[in-house]
Amino acid sequence: MAQIIDGKALAAVVRSEVAAEVQKIQAQGGTVRFAAVLVGENPASQIYVRNKQRACEQVGIAFELHTLPATCRYDELADLIRQLSADKKINGVLLQLPVPVAVVGDRLSEILNLIDPRKDVDGLTVANLGLLVDGNVGLVPCTAQGVLYAIQSVCPDLTGKNVVMIGRSRIVGRPTSLLLTNHNATVTVCHSRTRNLAEHTRQADIVVVAAGCPKLLTADMVKKNAIIIDVGINRLPNGKLAGDTDFENVAKVATAITPVPGGIGPLTVAFMLKNIVVAYRQQNCL
């Protein structure tokens, strides 16, 4: 039976490091301030934003929530993002996704890129994604950092490991594949158009799955003693949360596996907090 990678416990370590950093900054008279932007009333987004608020408050980061109705115009959202990016008191800015299509249409990338890259704690601007291509010196997307941290908790050195990344989204799959490549893994990116997914996953020492499909990764697709990182968050018809793996059966084959909930989710929030402090330090040349 696989070791269960306890994302909550790992996240607690990261959060306590962040809290200590924030205390140091406060002792020097500084305030770390973060602004989240929420458009519309998507219930899941409201929960995510509330969790982020609670997490910020627990480590001493001042939190501001800016809301706009789902009926707002693109320009109103753009103005708000520009205003927060220009505000010297604010160190981190995050636009909660998804943004209603009625507001952004096909201009999501454009709106994300209005965030000052130095405040882009989600790491989703082209500037930060470009820095990741360059060797990970900017603000790195939080989920990608969470995935790396979870892997390193059971496998500190990724050098030469074969990784299959299932998913190629801007928010998870692509940045994670880049970050793991920067750590000397050999990464294969698979996606919805990949032929014979199982042929790829069966070769992998590590499988990271971020597809949003419950039970996509089954036990017969996994090499014995592989490490499985499940990023997926799916709400099942019975109301329960599940990831993208057939957890019970995959855990019989794997050497280590992250659960859902309690795996990558808490780590993602912890690394958002870390990015806010990194952003503060960079802005204040510390």
Helix (H, G, I), strand (E, B) or coil at 3: strand
Q: Least CB distance from residue 86 to ligand NAD, whole Å?
A: 28
Q: Which C-beta is closer to ligand NAD: that of 172 or that of 178?
A: 172
Considering only residues 22-61, where is the footprint of ligand NAD by CB under 6 A? none
Q: Least CB distance from residue 236 to ligand NAD, whole Å?
A: 12
Which range in 72-80, 118-126, 206-214, 246-254 contacts ligand NAD by CB under 6 A?
A: 206-214
Q: Which C-beta is closer to ligand NAD: that of 77 or that of 211?
A: 211
Q: Which residues are CB-neighbours of 92 under 8 A, at least 6 positions away? A: 33, 34, 35, 119, 121, 275, 276, 279, 280
Give the whole-angstrom CA distance, residue 244 versus residue 231.
7
How many residues does this entry show for the chain?
Answer: 286
- DSSP 8-state assignment for residue 136: S
Note if 161 is an active site residue.
no
Is 123 an interacting residue with respect to ligand NAD (CB under 6 A)?
no
Q: How far apart are the first and last CA of the chain?
A: 45
Helix (H, G, I), strand (E, B) or coil at 178: helix
Which range in 66-74, 124-132, 263-271, 275-283 contacts ligand NAD by CB under 6 A?
A: 263-271
Which range in 50-58, 180-188, 260-268, 273-281 contacts ligand NAD by CB under 6 A?
A: 260-268
Of positions 167, 175, 207, 254, contacts ligand NAD by CB under 6 A? 167
Note if 122 is an active site residue.
yes
From 116, 119, 120, 122, active-site residue: 122
Is 141 an interacting residue with respect to ligand NAD (CB under 6 A)?
no
With contacts defined by CB under 6 A, how many residues of the chain interact with ligand NAD?
25
Of positions 216, 242, 276, 278, contacts ligand NAD by CB under 6 A? 216
Is 231 an interacting residue with respect to ligand NAD (CB under 6 A)?
yes
Largest separation between any pair of C-alpha atoms in the chain: 57
Q: Report the side by side order of strands in the sheet with 162-166.
A: 3-4, 256-257, 227-230, 206-209, 162-166, 186-190
Note if 83 is an active site residue.
no
* Chain center to CA of 119: 16
Which range in 63-71, 176-184, 209-217, 276-284 contacts ligand NAD by CB under 6 A?
A: 209-217
CB 275 within 8 A of CB 91: no
Give the whole-angstrom CA distance, residue 27 versus residue 32.
12
- DSSP 8-state assignment for residue 39: E
Is 169 an interacting residue with respect to ligand NAD (CB under 6 A)?
yes
* Chain center to CA of 26: 27
State the catalytic residues. 52, 96, 122
Q: Applying CB under 6 A, which residues contact ligand NAD?
A: 143, 166-169, 171-173, 190-192, 194, 197, 210-213, 216, 231-234, 264-265, 268
